[in-house]
C-alpha cells in the first residue's frame, strides 16, 4: 500500500438525506429518452435549509440519486400536461403554449417546481430489502411554500425473499409484480452511508402523480 498522510485526511461521516416532505426545486438537467417516450428530469433543491443539497461531487456524478421520470406516451399525456402546468404556475417566464412550438426539453433547465419526497421500501435484484427517497408528487412552487400539498404514506414494494432459514414469507407486493423488469444498468453505489441504489425506470413510468 502506498504511503499517505492519513492524519490530514478528513474521515467520512454518515450521509444525511433530506427528510420527507415538500421542496421547491430547480431543474438542472433533462434527458429525452425518445425510444421509450419519457424525460429523465434531474433536480436540485432550490430553497430552504437543504438548498443545493445535490450540488456536491456525488450529486453531480450520480444524477439518478435526484431525478424523476415524466412519460409523454399516449397513455400518459394528461399527466405530462399536469407537469407542464405546474411548471407554468411556478415560473413567470414559462408558457406551455410557447414551449410546445419547439418542445425542447433542454428549455426546461433552470425552471423551478414543487415536489414531494417520500420513502419507498423495495427489494433489489439481489434479494436485499432497501429504501429509496423518491418524488411522489409534483406541485406549483407556491403550493409547497404554503404547505398546501399531500404527503402519501410510505410505500412498501418489497418482494418475497427467503429469510436466513430458507423459508419464503408472505409477499408484500401484488402477485406477479416485478419492479425490475426492464431495469437499466446502474452506476456503482457511493460508499457513503445513506444513499440508496438507482431505482428501476419501470417503477416510475406512467405513474399517476399529481
**Predicted TM-score of the model (pTM):** 0.71
Q: Is residue 160 very low, low, confident or very high in pLDDT (cuts 50, 70, 90)?
A: low
Tell me, yes or no, whether 137 lies in a domain.
Answer: yes
CA atoms of 111 and 87, how far apart (whole Å): 7
Tell me, yes or no, whether 2 lies in a domain.
Answer: no
CA atoms of 171 and 2, how far apart (whole Å): 49
Tell me, yes or no, whether 11 lies in a domain.
Answer: no
For the segment 17-63, what is each residue's pLDDT rounded down to a tens digit? Answer: 899 999 999 999 999 999 999 999 999 999 999 999 999 988 999 99
**Domains contained in the chain, number:** 1
Rounded to an integer, what is the distance from CA 105 to the centroid of its chain?
18
Tell me, yes or no, whether 183 lies in a domain.
Answer: yes
For the segment 163-199, what is each residue's pLDDT rounded down to a tens digit? Answer: 555 544 434 444 444 433 443 333 433 433 344 444 4
Give the domain range for residue 112. Answer: 16-204
Q: Are 155 and 120 in contact (CB under 8 A)?
A: yes
Amino acid at each position: 500500500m502506498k504511503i499517505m498522510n492519513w492524519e490530514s485526511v478528513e474521515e467520512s461521516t454518515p450521509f444525511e438525506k433530506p427528510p420527507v416532505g415538500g421542496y421547491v426545486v430547480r431543474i438542472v438537467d433533462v434527458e429525452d429518452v425518445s425510444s421509450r417516450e419519457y424525460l429523465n428530469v434531474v433536480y436540485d433543491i432550490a430553497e430552504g435549509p437543504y438548498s443545493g443539497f445535490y450540488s456536491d461531487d456525488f450529486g453531480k456524478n450520480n444524477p439518478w440519486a435526484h431525478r424523476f421520470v415524466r412519460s409523454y406516451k399516449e397513455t400518459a399525456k394528461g399527466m405530462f400536461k399536469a407537469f407542464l402546468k405546474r411548471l407554468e404556475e411556478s415560473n413567470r417566464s414559462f408558457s406551455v403554449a410557447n414551449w410546445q412550438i419547439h418542445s425542447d426539453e433542454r428549455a426546461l433547465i433552470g425552471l423551478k417546481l414543487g415536489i414531494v419526497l417520500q420513502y419507498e421500501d423495495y427489494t433489489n435484484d439481489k434479494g436485499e430489502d432497501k429504501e429509496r427517497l423518491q418524488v411522489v408528487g409534483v406541485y406549483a412552487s407556491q403550493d409547497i411554500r404554503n404547505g398546501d400539498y399531500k404527503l402519501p404514506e410510505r410505500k412498501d414494494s418489497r418482494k418475497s425473499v427467503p429469510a436466513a432459514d430458507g423459508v419464503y414469507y408472505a409477499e408484500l407486493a401484488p402477485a406477479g409484480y416485478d419492479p425490475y423488469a426492464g431495469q437499466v444498468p446502474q452506476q456503482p453505489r457511493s460508499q457513503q452511508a445513506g444513499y440508496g441504489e438507482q431505482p428501476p425506470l419501470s417503477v416510475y413510468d406512467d405513474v399517476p402523480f399529481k
